[in-house]
Structure 1
Amino acid sequence: MYEFKEETRALVNLVRRIVKDHQAALETRRLRGEKLTSADYQSGREAARQAGLWGLSLPRELGGADLCLVDRLAVIEENRKCLTPIRFGGDALPDLLHLQGEQKARYLDPFLSDATAICFALTEPGGGSDPARNTSTHAKRDGKDWVINGSKIWVSDFDEADRAFVFARITKENTAGNLSMFAVEKDNPGLIARPVPMLGGYTTHQLTFDDCRVDEVARIGAEGAGFKGAQDALNATRFGNAAATLGIAQRCYDMMVEYAKRRVLFGSPLSDKQAIQSMIIDSWIEIQQNRLMMYTCAERYDRGENTRVDASMTKLTCTEMVGRVIDRAIQIHGGAGCTYESPLAHWYDSQRMSRIWVGASEVLKYRVLARHLLA
């Protein structure tokens, strides 16, 4: 079992209090079928910011918490035990943190002050798990401007964003070293957005760029250097995705234990039944194994070691694990676990996507891990 240091435990307790004070009531409302808006999450978001939990990975000189990866993952894990977690803000792609001059004033400063929200558009309808070599969206110089044409899909958070950071190739060569990132305002007349409903009640968007014109200031970073920044961000996101699934799995485990103890069947609690005990024990073991692996890999990251393979391995095993734990929890709850009045049904829907987002299980297994092991 993995044990947190005292400072990390204090951080986890802080998150737990904020979630209890601000997010638990939202969970109840959602389970009643209420439609929540971003305004409903604002009090928890502000409480987190007042507590210093703003920009978890952001440097202190930019107003962030500047947490090491172990602490960031601990915060995420605790936060995601709630069906309506805190919506932390202030984290951005590393490329944005180095902006200067007009770019900094236009894109970074408003974001850091929470005056604007952003989203990222990398995946394409035909690109899927290999955006480095399957990006058809392209940007072409036209005088002092760039003109973007193409399409992106599965863009999260577009509803609340003020602008999208879009990855496009800048020459005919379709390689990882040929992608640049462009900032496109949401109200740009060349941007057409179509909502795409997803499992779990989420909505992503497909973005179409039809002669979408942006100025030179909107091109972020060096020409052709966009994919490296995206890849670095994906690795950090994979760790975060693993932590989120661990938090959900732990909550499901807690629910199945509590329910098994109080639910009486054939004259005795479910917890007395060997089949139920087996499901509970299997879940506990899987959670502890994955938690130990994730935080051990995070420690390596914090020491400055290369953890690209670690991030893929951790994301793969945690997202596969959470599906099994949720399924066992529903099986123990029976019909009570199949209603949307229970968090279990919501997670059963939404966590199916975790095995696909930021690297499908098969891609991580055979493209990353197998190549590493067989190199």
Structure 2
Amino acid sequence: MHKSLTELREAVRAFVEQHAIPREDPALAHDVARLDAVTRELQALAREAGIYAPHLPPEVGGLGLGWLERAEILEEAGRSFLGAPALNCAPPDQPNMVNLLRNGTPAQREQYLMPLVRGEVRSCFAMTEPAPGAGSDPAMLRTRAERLPGQPGKWVINGHKWFISGAVGADFAIVLARTGDGATMFLVDAGNPGYRLVRNIAGMDGYQIGGHGEIVLEHCVVGDDAVLGEPGQGFVYAQARLEPARLSHCMRFVGRASRAMEIAQQYAARRESFGQRLADLQQVQAMVADSHIDLHASRLMVRDCARRMDAGESVKHDSAMTKIFVSEAVWRVADRAVQIMGALGISDDTPVSMIQRELRPFRIYDGASELHRATLARRIFQHGMRP
């Protein structure tokens, strides 16, 4: 019997409270091997609970939820650092599954997609590069893939990738490389002799499954069967991947920020200073009210964008506005939570400090806010869009 959306949301919240949050530990935040072990344990429990893979169609083992339904479920999962990985709907595997579903051949789906769906392997998406390579501007892509002379059906890839989320321990990568006048996506096994993981790049965030890797591709030879989709369409596929990916990030991080404020409110309600509760101070009340406004506005923007995606409408403009606003709003909420809690807020005695550290990079992930603002403004002036 299928759960209603309300029942599913309640089941996810109960799962997060009973299983995910109790397994959080500051010592776990940057331990890639332990994170993998905990994630596998939680994924087994999520399957038993009937809440696994909400983003995937039923024919490959998912719940088949639409975007508007996902908005509620991913927010609940996002309350815990471990919630989305437990449901196998965390990046980079979540958008990689979508890439494989849309563009993979039957053989590629069997070899790469299905083990990913079952949680048997992990993957990464290798696009970004050290300067002067691709970052917010994918047109600066320097990694190249060329036909191997004298070996029909073979490609050789050379390039340098960095800050590749999920790379440490990944079984394969979707590599974006320049080919001719465009770019092509390639499925590259981590065991390929030309593929080398250099290091895990330490960062301010935590609980990133597979860390953030630096990868060197040196005379990395792959066959035609490694091409994902059509050659030369890599930039198109990357853009199609980014819009749903950034919206999913918004859903999860609204959940994370709301948990930070929930903890701060509980603290303010019991903590006394200068003879009165923090909750009775107008400045604290204003911070709580402003945070609820930010979260409410974020949810409305996310849901409106999700509704448009369910209707098959283009959300290029809407998703960019949503990503800018939500990434900045959830940061404000977490920052206020830290301020309300004082020294406790910057300690690891509660998850609030890690939530704030994790939310800061969101203004850079999936395109920096400045890039999205510039793109929005150009589109507005080009089309004469009314405010």
Fold shared per TM-score above 0.5: yes
Q: Is the 8 A contact 1:167 1:226 kept in 2?
A: yes
The 1-side partners of 2:324 and 2:5 are apart by: 25
Once the 2 structures are TM-superposed, how far is the Cα of residue 33 of structure 1 from its aligned partner? Answer: 8.2
Q: Is the 8 A contact 2:201 2:214 kept in 1?
A: yes
Residue 139 of structure 2 corresponds to residue 137 of structure 1: no
The 2-side partners of 1:39 and 1:95 are apart by: 26
Once the 2 structures are TM-superposed, how far is the Cα of residue 34 of structure 1 from its aligned partner? Answer: 9.4
* 3-state SS of 1:351 partner: helix
Q: Is the 8 A contact 1:19 1:86 kept in 2?
A: no
- 1:60 maps to 58
Counterpart AA for 2:373: K
* 3-state SS of 2:83 partner: coil
- Decide which of 153, 156, 159 is 1:147's aligned counterpart: 156
| Number of aligned positions between the proteins | 362
Farther-moved stretch of structure 1 (194-203 vs 324-333): 194-203
- Decide which of 82, 85, 94 is 1:84's aligned counterpart: 82
Q: Cα distance 1:168–1:244, how it changes in 2: closer, same or farther (>3 A)?
A: same
- Decide which of 250, 253, 262 is 2:261's aligned counterpart: 253
Once the 2 structures are TM-superposed, how far is the Cα of residue 334 of structure 1 from its aligned partner? Answer: 0.8
- Decide which of 122, 130, 153 is 1:117's aligned counterpart: 122
Q: Cα distance 1:251–1:94, how it changes in 2: closer, same or farther (>3 A)?
A: closer
- 2:41 maps to 43
- Decide which of 364, 370, 373 is 2:377's aligned counterpart: 370
Q: Deviations over 1:183-205 (max 9, x none)?
A: 11111111121221111245301
The 2-side partners of 1:54 and 1:84 are apart by: 13
Q: Cα distance 1:169–1:59, how it changes in 2: closer, same or farther (>3 A)?
A: same
- 2:385 maps to none
Q: Is the 8 A contact 1:31 1:341 kept in 2?
A: no
* 3-state SS of 2:162 partner: strand
Counterpart AA for 2:242: L
Counterpart AA for 2:296: Q
- Decide which of 164, 167, 171 is 1:158's aligned counterpart: 167
Once the 2 structures are TM-superposed, how far is the Cα of residue 9 of structure 1 from its aligned partner? Answer: 2.6
Q: Cα distance 1:300–1:274, how it changes in 2: closer, same or farther (>3 A)?
A: same
* 3-state SS of 1:200 partner: coil
Q: Deviations over 1:198-222 (max 9, x none)?
A: 1124530111111111122111111
Alignment of 1:355-366 (within 5 A): 355-366=363-374
The 2-side partners of 1:234 and 1:34 are apart by: 26
Q: Is the 8 A contact 1:121 1:166 kept in 2?
A: yes
The 2-side partners of 1:94 and 1:86 are apart by: 16
Residue 44 of structure 2 corresponds to residue 8 of structure 1: no
Q: Is the 8 A contact 1:93 1:230 kept in 2?
A: no
Q: Deviations over 1:218-248 (max 9, x none)?
A: 1111111122222111100110111122112
Alignment of 1:278-297 (within 5 A): 278-297=286-305
Q: Is the 8 A contact 1:56 1:67 kept in 2?
A: yes
The 2-side partners of 1:63 and 1:267 are apart by: 56
Residue 218 of structure 2 corresponds to residue 210 of structure 1: yes
Q: Cα distance 1:21–1:61, how it changes in 2: closer, same or farther (>3 A)?
A: same
Q: Deviations over 1:88-127 (max 9, x none)?
A: 3274354412433433333233333333221111112221
Counterpart AA for 1:318: V
The 1-side partners of 2:121 and 2:82 are apart by: 22
TM-score if structure 1 supplies the norm length? Answer: 0.91
Q: Is the 8 A contact 1:19 1:44 kept in 2?
A: no
TM-score if structure 2 supplies the norm length? Answer: 0.88
Percent identity of equivalent pairs: 34
The 1-side partners of 2:238 and 2:323 are apart by: 17
The 1-side partners of 2:343 and 2:170 are apart by: 38
* 3-state SS of 1:199 partner: coil
Once the 2 structures are TM-superposed, how far is the Cα of residue 31 of structure 1 from its aligned partner? Answer: 6.9
The 2-side partners of 1:32 and 1:217 are apart by: 38
- Decide which of 245, 263, 283 is 1:237's aligned counterpart: 245
Counterpart AA for 2:128: T
The structure 1 segments of at least 4 consecutive aligned residues displaced by more than 4 Å after TM superposition are: 31-35
Segments of structure 2 that go 5 or more residues without pairing to the other structure are 383-387
- 1:3 maps to none
The 1-side partners of 2:81 and 2:98 are apart by: 29
